[in-house]
Structure 1
Amino acid sequence: MENFSANANAIFDRATQDYHLLNHVDAFMKNPFQSGTIDFLLYEKNWIDVVQWHLEDIIRDPDIDPFKALEIKRRIDRSNQERTDLVEKIDDYFLNLFKEVKPLPYASINTESPAWAIDRLSILAVKIYHMRDEVNRTDADEQHVINCREKLNILLNQREDLSQAIDTLLREIGEGKKYMKVYRQMKMYNDPSLNPVLYSKPIK
């Protein structure tokens, strides 16, 4: 677990780069890692993030057909649910990994579970890729490049800090100094039994 973030960042960068070899939201790339492993889950997680990044770009086209926009919005909603489900699978991996660890009497809980911190790390990889693209643009003016280079440096620093924090959290959970407590994301709007707009409709 000591270098978990370094491995995760490498996988996130690989998935983001793999997507851009095809560069289409409907593209498919076979996950190169063995099913059931944490590396497989990390690759899947980033693939969802990078596809959704591009869906968010497309839907902001001011000339987009309204029906197309609605279709994409619903696809983004599904993607968010898939993202949440995958984060919970990553947390399940850690719950199983640390199941034999007995928390020390003074052990404390973190503000978020490991997987939700890793979720932010994955999204950072996508941001860094695209901000680097902006820095390398040849059709942009000098000030744009300067501004984007400053933002890229901040993102890289943020990734370094977050990576260190994740590694520290995992180490302390393994040592019993922290403990995991996972709250499942009970999203109500996707559940036809909890969303009043859906459950109030008469059955056809």
Structure 2
Amino acid sequence: MSSFSQSANKIFDEVVAFYHVLDQVDQEGKNPYATDTIDYLLYQKNWIDSVQWHVEDLIREPEIEPSLALSYKRRIDALNQERTDTVERIDDYFLAKFAAVPAKSNRLNTESPAWAIDRLSILALKIYHMAIEAERVDTPIDQQARCKQKLAILLEQREDLSTAIDQLLEELAQGEKQMKVYRQMKMYNDPQLNPVLYQKKA
């Protein structure tokens, strides 16, 4: 039986591979999982990350038209909000999953499971793209070597983070740690809390 992190990494790699078949930021994600499952949320999370990764590349084009850059910036803002919303939905899943677990300790973790999973999702993209850079034959040998070293570190980081996530989930399941979630409460996207937005209405 695979661990949670193994299943998550499999889904993340699946999404990254699917995205790069067309490699277009406007393509449809086609989430194959049932909407009421954690797998659906994991797929959705990495799809958002994959699109945002490539929009972030596009906006750095040196000769980009200002109007196009602004549209990309707006899209990045929207993707960031969607990413945060999805992370919080993943935490909602774990809150429900562990709600009835008797507390054996009041120990807390520095971050919720979903925000650790957020980092795991982004690692899948880093690994995919660094592997490409490590194998490029049109770059200097020393650059290839640096990329191979970075790839090795990223792979080690994924292994360690995966282990840490599985350990955290086990501790939560046993009541050895308590799950406590603080919502991001971002203000800049809220027309009632961003002064630039609400002062326009005054």
TM-score > 0.5, shorter chain as reference: yes
2:134/2:145 contact within 8 Å kept: yes
Q: Please report the TM-score for the alignment, with normalisation by the length of structure 1.
A: 0.96
Match of 2:180 in 1: 181
In the TM superposition, 1:127-142 aligns within 5 A as 127-142=126-141
In the TM superposition, 1:136-155 aligns within 5 A as 136-155=135-154
Residue 29 of structure 1 and its aligned partner are, at CA, apart by 3.1
Query: Counterparts of 1:187 and 1:120 in 2: how far apart (Å)?
Result: 19
2:12/2:121 contact within 8 Å kept: yes
Match of 1:124 in 2: 123
Q: Deviations for 1:144-189, whole angstroms, at most 9, x for unmatched residues?
A: 1100000000000000000000000000000000011111110000
Counterparts in 2 of 1:111 and 1:2: CA distance versus 1, 3 Å? farther
2:49/2:121 contact within 8 Å kept: yes
Which stretch shows the higher mean deviation, 137-146 or 54-63? Answer: 137-146
1:2/1:171 contact within 8 Å kept: no
Unaligned runs of 5+ in 2: none
Query: Counterparts of 1:100 and 1:177 in 2: how far apart (Å)?
Result: 13
Query: Counterparts of 2:160 and 2:2 in 1: how far apart (Å)?
Result: 15
Unaligned runs of 5+ in 1: none
Q: Deviations for 1:11-32, whole angstroms, at most 9, x for unmatched residues?
A: 0000001000010000113111
Match of 1:202 in 2: 201
Match of 1:70 in 2: 70
Match of 1:191 in 2: 190
Residue 2 of structure 1 and its aligned partner are, at CA, apart by 7.1
The amino acid of 2:37's aligned partner reads: T
Match of 2:89 in 1: 89
Query: Counterparts of 1:16 and 1:63 in 2: how far apart (Å)?
Result: 28
The amino acid of 2:19's aligned partner reads: Y
**3-state DSSP class of the match of 1:150?**
helix
The amino acid of 1:14's aligned partner reads: E
**3-state DSSP class of the match of 2:136?**
coil
**3-state DSSP class of the match of 1:109?**
coil
Query: Counterparts of 1:117 and 1:202 in 2: how far apart (Å)?
Result: 38
Query: Counterparts of 2:133 and 2:47 in 1: how far apart (Å)?
Result: 21
The amino acid of 1:7's aligned partner reads: S
